[in-house]
């Protein structure tokens, strides 16, 4: 049987669930839940519903992310490749600058010229990926 306190508790349950009721009300709810199977059932259901909604939201989010990813897969790949190429190019330039030239123990001047063609190579790759990326973005529904 549902008495008056059950109605009060059920009014409080949503607040208790959201953690926005006073400490006194929370204690009242907890005490009542321990002694009242009906309200405990109600509480359990409320928690299950929340979990379900949360799971559905997450599933939806994952699904939407997958759709967007699928749609922009090519563009994303090219964007990533472009970023990596640019980074590699910058790394080569930085490495060249950082190492600089030095005189080897046998008196010859050593300069890390090897980084220059590498930097150019990555710059060229960046250009290729950049053009590809721009193309993929411009025509997303290419068939
Ligand atoms: Zn009750």
Dihedral in degrees, nearest 10, Cα atoms 139, 84, 89, 104: -160
H-helix or E-strand spanning residue 37: helix 37-71
Which is more confidently placed, 1 or 8?
8
Beta bridge partners of 103: 109
- What's the average model confidence in pLDDT over 114-126? 86
The confidence score (pLDDT) of residue 3 equals 64
- Tell how far the Cα of 15 is from the centroid of ligand 1, in angstroms: 16
The protein residues having their C-beta less than 5 angstroms from ligand 1 (an ion) are 6, 36, 39
**104-119 confidence digits (pLDDT tens):** 777 777 777 777 888 8
The confidence score (pLDDT) of residue 116 equals 81
Residue partners of 103: CB distance under 8 A and separation at least 6: 109, 110
Q: What is the pTM of this model?
A: 0.41
- Tell how far the Cα of 59 is from the centroid of ligand 1, in angstroms: 34
- Tell how far the Cα of 48 is from the centroid of ligand 1, in angstroms: 18
Asked if pLDDT for residue 140 goes beyond 60, the answer is no
| Pairwise CA distance, residues 125 & 4, whole Å | 75
- What's the average model confidence in pLDDT over 66-86? 82
**Across all residues in the chain, what is the average pLDDT?**
84
């Amino acid at each position: 049987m549902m008495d008056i306190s059950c109605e009060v508790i059920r009014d409080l349950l949503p607040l208790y669930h959201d953690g926005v009721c006073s400490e006194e009300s929370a204690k009242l709810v907890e005490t009542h839940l321990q002694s009242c199977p009906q309200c405990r059932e109600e509480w359990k259901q409320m928690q299950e519903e929340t979990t379900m909604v949360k799971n559905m939201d997450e599933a939806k989010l994952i699904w939407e992310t997958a759709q967007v990813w699928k749609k922009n897969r090519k563009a994303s790949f090219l964007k990533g490749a472009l970023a990596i190429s640019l980074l590699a190019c910058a790394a080569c330039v930085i490495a060249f600058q950082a190492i600089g030239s030095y005189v080897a123990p046998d008196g010859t001047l050593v300069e890390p010229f090897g980084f220059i063609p590498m930097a150019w190579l990555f710059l060229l790759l960046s250009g290729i990926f950049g053009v590809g990326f721009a193309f993929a973005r411009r025509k997303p529904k290419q068939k």
